[in-house]
Structure 1
């Protein structure tokens, strides 16, 4: 791939006439980059799709491709892409419903809003792969019919479809009220009983590891159950029946289900599998009693999940703050805390709690300034990017705490250009702060040129529109092709330099 042309393909300042030239000369990789542009003319879109039909999916989803630009006989992939966005005419759908290429019928089956007669044709398709795809996306009335399909893989796809009615999902979970399935992808291929070995040596084998069937379509039915339990439309009481399932990840799917009865939540909170307790800790409907149990959990993944719970009481932060790795993440309980609670938590003797408060970006000025003077480096790292801090406060943080906070200070949207320049010119290479400075909107030219000396910051600085033109042009000959592409994509690159590098 020509790195200069790849960068120009993404350059927002590329003039229309040069965009024409690049479109005509594009190879496949350049074509994909051009397809991401929002300023393509109709003729340029048509040229891309004609030469590279695979770009049609992206162009259609971006609203750049219209039905008038596509002949389905010549550009079937483009036509299917438009059908997928709902912008293709019904006669195209009828055409593809009878296509001899099963891959096209599969793609059609995933399209929304298909005409009823096309849906009927796909329901009766002789290839089960087409019907499975239809079952994944079909409206409720179709899923009701497909839940009784003789192929277990079709039923499994119905279980995954969120349009499937609750009573149908319950029937799939319990296997009650439905005729038994007659086939699955395993017994379609292998004589039963069959268990697919994890280290299968056959190069033509398409079955996943663990696929098995003894006539009851075991692995497919198991997957169907998993899918139904993950489906938000499954009834709570139907899901709760599996809270004692011997397979822990089945119990974990149950634990994620909102609206579980309190007694089921209490049972799952004591589950021996950490994955189940962790899933429960993220369930938005657990009560405070269960939260207290989980806050004392010995597994870090459980405590971490609970810390991000949307309804965690701030009173439980003390039990979690020093036992989780929240980093710079803003916890929901901090985000929704009242002004009074924020002030109380910011004054906590526990630096782990103060660090969590410092991650909030709309702190009252008094709280913000108090935390900016905190003695704990973890607190300072979180407060340094706060947009309300003044240049003087940011300089003080750097002077007092040095490299421990430079990257966070450099990330502050209000960091003065002079401070960014000072940091860039005195920081040793390899420091994260240089990469942060290289992408700061206010970074001055001198700071950006200093960042070019760092291998990892160089590619970031090469994209910055404030980088001096002489440096941008010079980087077009850099040994690192990623740097070359970044410089070519820089909107400050002069048009005459762009023109020189196009065929």
Structure 2
């Protein structure tokens, strides 16, 4: 069953024990008993949704049930070294989940698996399982793949042909391993094919599909292909680097503003086209051309552009040092008067401390949120401010940052925004009566967090253990007495529903 189905099938007693499995104060012996005797729902929560003591990790890795081990393989909270112990698990189901990036609402980005583990996965797993490694590959290993001692890793590195240096390409083409040579030759063929107008024409599908879109955007286009695409897909050829300058000039005056905006993003845009697009009647076009690298700061400032606030600001997808701007370019971006350029600088996780401090006080919300999401040293005051001001997707991820404040938050307990009231419950010093009141909050997530608050009075915790909605949250409360924990475990075998006697 899926995790959602497992939880839906769990009865009240099982959910209560699942809450106990999350309790940070639960002693090792209680956790081991839950792991040994608990239901699927209990073992799922225990192994997947928390940090675990060493003896419990040992027991989870060695557990005879494959689903239990697979839950641990998906745990984003434990040290990746612990998850890596499952790399040679006998069940493909477990190995597939280890190779997939673990996710959680309060985890900004997964920590990479050890390099040796990723290498082992690449060497021994099926291709479809390796595709989920994503951000679990460290930047250093990703950078060294094409020259790695392992042929399997070099084969994977050969797929990044466009970013490889000429000497590295030559080495891959003459590699002692036939598989590496084949992968390199295939990557070179695909790379060169995109630069051959005749090959692009031959491979271009007649119907609309991803392959046709890819070739029209990135392939070398012959004049007849451009003419054919002019009416159906002008925004694609507007972004194509092979589109001739004369055609680009015509596209810069295209009646469709989306096409002109695509042209405005071209790095090879001529001065005449740039000047025309800088006074375009459409604000999206002016904004697109305003970040062109050819402008000086003074010229950029003369453009009438307006930067909108987005509904969502995403994390840096994959941290690859070679894909990031260099130190000088990063500094120029951070010091620019243009918010979109400063947003690019804010995404650089290696941004120097002085520029971090500068952008933490930036006037643009996007700059501040992107800095908070992507920089490991984002200051606490910035993270809290971002949470209070930003209401988009992944907002709660900010609370998972190591620098997010955990004190002084109780003052938000009466805020109109339920997410901010929930924020108040991160404060371990919240008054007991406030925590009690929030267990009756109109928002279900606030009630759930309040039921786990360590300052919640004992009588309220006891009452919530019989509450159908909040029993499993109350069982996760670290203030739960050890005697009650023992009673919950002891009675589990006799009771699968109803209140604890």
Q: TM-score normalized by structure 1?
A: 0.49
Q: Please say which structure displays the higher CA radius of gyration.
A: 1
Instruction: For CA contacts below 8 A with separation 6 or more, give which structure has more relative contact order.
Output: 2
Q: TM-score normalized by structure 2?
A: 0.49
